[in-house]
Amino acid sequence: MKTCLIVDDSRVIRKVSRHILETLGFAVDEAENGQTGLDACETNMPDVVLLDWNMPVMTGIEFITQLRQRPGGDKPKVVFCTTENDVAHIREAIQAGADEYVMKPFDHETLQIKLQLVGFA
């Protein structure tokens, strides 16, 4: 089964994302900040990470930078899910190692398209 880790400090976003992902056949884990997300990756590296940009403890950029440096950290497809929509933020996310980018709020169809683009839907 495909696995996805949702790293977002918003319980509502995690809940909505989980529902969408589970209907797409994913086993889902959640983390409320980047550090908890990295700890989860240590235990079980997911196929896909849905990653928020602005979080307490560790930002999305800090998370992806550290993830990509870890053994196996190059494997997960990372989709940034954020309200930051300017070109500079998108460029920074891609340069840090993100595979795709989706704007909040997003719906089932939008997330499914992004997952298809990274090969997981």
- pLDDT recorded at residue 85: 77
pLDDT in tens, 13-28: 999 999 999 999 999 9
* 84 has a pLDDT exceeding 90: no
- pLDDT recorded at residue 45: 98
Q: How confident is the model at residue 83 (pLDDT cuts 50, 70, 90)?
A: confident
Triad 42, 70, 35: Cα angle to 5°: 50
Q: Using the structure block, give the residue that is written with the tokens 């704007």.
A: 103
- Cβ atoms of 103 and 82 within 8 Å: the answer is yes
pLDDT in tens, 51-70: 999 999 999 999 999 999 99
